[in-house]
């Protein structure tokens, strides 16, 4: 077995991703059930239930359509964030998986990047499930909606990287509640998932526009509703900016914790 | 060592945490094919030294090369030729026995039929062939250690680093690990192990270094260290009320060195002395007459105070 014992630089994160995928695939059925049933319940309860009380459309479309596209984004955020926090923390601290990887030719950078891309992939999986449901319910305009998939992956990577930054400094699982309560939940409620941002006070609007979920929705919702995409560069730029900041920061902070 | 065939060369390695030196000027030359032991009390700097070898802890100063690769600059290439058995089990609880090996192989970029053959061989080596598809949480402590050892061999490493490989194992499991390690040494692998079981070090190691407070106090072969540092004969006397003072009443040879730890008195002698045994029998004391061991050297050099 005297051959090269390590992969070329560009692909070193792949075994880390594959390890996580293999674990996910073992419990693929219950995982997918959660990915499908939960958004379905939200769509039925809020979309039909709440939507039936609405006398007019929401931002020009039926509320169910509006909600489905918002949830496709929120789900990528939530799934990637939780993977990058609770699951990554378990692997980093409780199971020693990361240090185990780092005693092979993989480096800390490979491990962190693999984890972030995996978190993004989990975000993609959950968005894909919602897109499927929405398509079956007739809530998607046309085939342009397939662009949602690569975008959901990028959005997932963005939130995954932010989550790993938090994980790197977390002392225990309870620490994640700060991040969820102070950032994830406000974004979920105030970035345009359930209602347009325009109606909110100016200050909240500015706050929402500084955070990535607003821009994820700005990209994904028009694609699902068959509307014109505007401000694509701005939206991609903000999400890309968060990625460009969070990934090196995550590598650095995890390094400070594990490479003592 | 006459021939310089060093696989690890460490010179003046230093590392501090919060102003405290945990690795203090460590020099080591570890030769290809030898089993080298790092011995020391808890917190002596053993694990930190091993982490430096892997590039996981950056030395403050000093130089380190492994298999010709400067560390930490080229640690990845070095790690590709090293196998590691860590102190704490970090087997993947989400995978079965064979999946653990397959996944670990993928971290080295190894996959395919060659890996499957290797996994089969390693499971036989670790005596786990009947556990191939067992989940990790069904394995005993000894089985987990053996699997960790098999995992460390997946890349057919030249150097094997073992951090307390038998801590917490029962005697049977420990014997089996020892036997496997001897086999690996016969295959020409270089073994580096930390332990605080002196018996383990004495049985396995060609050479060893005793480390305390981050410094190497002494190094050499187990026999040489015993010869160099301690009288060859020891009588341990124990029982209620045994006092070092009462034994040192003239029936002991003048050269004898006496130490007391709790209820046990250690009498170290350069020659066997029948008078000592006769005295113990006369006084009706429980005693053990034995050759000096590495443990005596270790306790002499690192002190008898409890650590931590």
Contacts of A106 in chain B (CB under 8 A): 107
- Answer yes or no: is B257 within a domain: yes
Q: Which residues of B fall within a CB distance of 8 Å from A107?
A: 75-76
For the cut 70, the answer to whether the pLDDT of residue A188 exceeds it is: yes
Q: Is A247 left (phi over 0), alpha (psi -120 to 50) or beta?
A: alpha
**Spatial contact of A108 and A255, defined as CB atoms under 8 Å apart:** yes
Domain edges within chain A: 12-19+59-258
Number of domains in chain B: 1
| Residue in chain A nearest B15 by alpha carbon | A260
Judged against a pLDDT cut of 70, whether residue B249 lies above it is answered with no
pLDDT digits (tens, 9 = 90+) for B190-202: 999 999 888 899 9
The beta-carbon neighbor of B109 closest among A6, A23, A26 is A6
Residue B280 domain boundaries:
231-291
- Cβ of A6 within 8 Å of Cβ of B56? The answer is no
ipTM of this predicted complex?
0.91
Which residues from B are below 8 Å from A4, CB to CB? Answer: 109
Instruction: Give the gap in angstroms from C-alpha A256 to the nearest C-alpha of chain B.
Output: 11
DSSP result, B177-216: HHHHHHHHHHTT-EEEEEES-HHHHHHH-SEEEEEETTEE
pLDDT at position B278: 79
Distance between terminal CA atoms of chain B? 36
Task: Indicate the range of A141-145, B142-146, B249-253, B288-292 predicted with least confidence.
Answer: B249-253
CA distance A23 to chain B (A): 6
Q: Find the mean pLDDT for residues B97-105.
A: 97
Whether residue A215 is predicted with pLDDT greater than 60 in this model: the reply is yes
* Contact call for A1 and B118, based on CB within 8 A: yes
Task: Measure CB to CB from residue B109 to each of A7, A19, A107 and give the nearest one.
Answer: A7
Mean pLDDT lowest among A4-8, A157-161, A184-188: A4-8
- C-alpha dihedral, A247 to A253 to A258 to A259, nearest 10°: 90
Residues present in chain A in total = 260
Which residues of chain A lie closer than 8 angstroms to B58, CB-CB? 259
Task: Report yes or no on B279 lying in a domain.
Answer: yes
pLDDT band at B66 (very low <50, low <70, confident <90, very high): very high
Which positions in chain A touch B108 (Cβ < 8 Å)?
Answer: 5-6, 104-105
- Report chain A's mean pLDDT, rounded to a whole number: 93
Q: What is the mean pLDDT of residues A208-214?
A: 96
Q: What is the pLDDT of residue B258?
A: 85
In a domain, B282, yes or no: yes
Out of B54, B57, B92, name the one closest to residue A103 (CB): B54
The answer to the question of residue B33 being in a domain is: no
The CATH number for B245's domain is 3.30.70
Q: Is residue B251 part of a domain?
A: yes
pLDDT, mean of residues B37-53: 92
B104: chain A residues, CB-CB within 8 Å = 100, 104
Residue of chain A minimizing CA distance to B78: A105
Burial class (CB in 10 A: 0-12, 13-18, 19+), B137: exposed
| Residue B6 to residue B1: CA distance in whole angstroms | 10
Of B90, B104, B155, the CB nearest to A96: B90
**Is the model more confident about B303 or about B159?**
B159
- Among A153-162, B110-119, B282-291, the minimum mean pLDDT is found in B282-291
Quote the mean pLDDT of chain B: 90
Please compute the mean of the pLDDT values over residues B278-283 and round it to a whole number.
75
Find, in chain B, the residue whose alpha carbon is nearest to that of A106.
B107
| Residue A2 pLDDT class (50, 70, 90 cuts) | very low
Closest CA to A212 of A223, A222, A220, A200: A220
Confidence (pLDDT) at B248: 61
Confidence of residue B308 (pLDDT cuts 50, 70, 90): low
At residue B1, the pLDDT reads 44
Are residues A6 and B156, on separate chains, in Cβ contact within 8 Å? no
**Residue B150 placed within a domain:** no
pLDDT band at A3 (very low <50, low <70, confident <90, very high): low
Residue B299 inside a domain? The answer is no
Interchain CB distance below 8 Å, B17 and A260: yes
Half-sphere exposure of residue B148: CA atoms within 13 angstroms, side-chain side: 27
**A167 vs chain B: nearest CA distance in angstroms?**
19
The rounded percent of chain B whose pLDDT value lies above 90 is 66
**Which residues does chain A have within 8 Å of residue B82's beta carbon, measured at their own beta carbons?**
103
With CB atoms and an 8 Å threshold, state whether B57 touches A106.
no
Three-state SS for B19?
Answer: coil
Residues of A in contact with B17 (CB under 8 A): 260
Residue of A104, A108, A256, A259 to mutate when probing chain B, most B C-beta within 10 A: A104
Mean pLDDT of A186-208: 94
């Amino acid at each position: 077995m005297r051959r090269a014992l390590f992969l070329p630089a560009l692909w070193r994160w792949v075994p880390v991703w594959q390890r996580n995928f293999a674990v996910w695939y073992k419990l693929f059925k219950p995982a997918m059930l959660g990915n499908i049933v939960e958004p379905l319940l939200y769509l039925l309860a809020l979309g039909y239930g709440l939507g039936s009380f609405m006398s007019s459309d929401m931002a020009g479309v039926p509320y169910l359509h509006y909600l489905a596209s918002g949830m496709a984004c929120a789900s990528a955020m939530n799934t990637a964030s939780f993977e990058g926090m609770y699951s990554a923390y378990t692997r980093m601290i409780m199971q020693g998986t990361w240090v185990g990887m780092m005693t092979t030719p993989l480096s800390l950078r490979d491990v962190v990047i693999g984890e972030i891309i995996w978190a993004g992939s989990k975000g993609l999986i959950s968005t894909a499930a919602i897109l499927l449901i929405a398509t079956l319910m007739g809530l998607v305009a046309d085939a342009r909606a397939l662009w949602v998939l690569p975008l959901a992956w990028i959005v997932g990577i963005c939130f995954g990287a932010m989550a790993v930054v938090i994980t790197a400094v977390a002392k225990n699982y309870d620490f994640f509640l700060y991040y969820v309560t102070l950032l994830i939940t406000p974004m979920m409620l105030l970035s345009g998932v359930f209602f347009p941002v325009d109606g909110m006070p100016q200050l909240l609007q500015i706050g929402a526009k500084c955070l990535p979920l607003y821009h994820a929705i700005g990209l994904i919702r028009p694609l699902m509703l068959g509307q014109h995409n505007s401000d694509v560069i701005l939206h991609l730029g903000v999400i890309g900016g968060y990625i460009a900041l969070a990934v090196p920061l995550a590598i650095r902070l995890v390094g400070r914790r594990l490479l003592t | 060592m006459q021939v310089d065939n060093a696989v690890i060369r460490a010179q003046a390695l230093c590392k501090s945490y919060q102003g405290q030196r945990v690795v203090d000027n460590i020099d080591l030359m570890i030769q290809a094919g030898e089993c080298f032991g790092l011995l020391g009390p808890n917190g002596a700097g053993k694990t930190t030294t091993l982490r430096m070898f892997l590039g996981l802890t950056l030395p403050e100063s000093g130089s380190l090369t492994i298999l010709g690769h400067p560390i930490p600059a080229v640690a990845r290439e070095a790690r590709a030729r090293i196998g590691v058995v860590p102190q704490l089990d970090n087997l993947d609880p989400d995978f079965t026995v064979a999946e653990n090996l397959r996944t670990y192989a993928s971290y080295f970029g190894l996959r395919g039929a060659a890996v499957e053959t290797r996994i089969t061989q390693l499971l036989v080596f670790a005596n786990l062939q009947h556990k191939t598809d067992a989940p990790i949480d069904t394995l005993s402590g000894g089985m987990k250690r053996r699997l960790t050892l098999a995992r460390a061999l997946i890349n057919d490493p030249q150097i094997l680093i073992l951090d307390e490989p038998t801590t917490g194992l029962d005697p049977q499991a420990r014997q089996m690990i020892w036997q496997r390690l001897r086999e690996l040494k016969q295959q020409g692998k270089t073994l580096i192990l930390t332990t605080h079981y002196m018996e383990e070090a004495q049985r396995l190691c060609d050479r060893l270094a005793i480390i305390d407070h981050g410094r190497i106090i002494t190094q050499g072969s187990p026999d040489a260290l015993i010869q160099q540092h301690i009288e060859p004969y020891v009588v341990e006397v124990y029982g209620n009320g045994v006092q070092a003072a009462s034994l040192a009443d003239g029936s002991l040879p003048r050269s004898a060195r006496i130490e007391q730890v709790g209820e046990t008195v250690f009498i170290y002698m350069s020659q066997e002395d029948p008078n000592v045994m006769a005295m113990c029998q006369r006084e009706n004391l429980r005693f053990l007459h034995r050759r000096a061991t590495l443990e005596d050297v270790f306790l002499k050099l690192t002190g008898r105070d409890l650590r931590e």
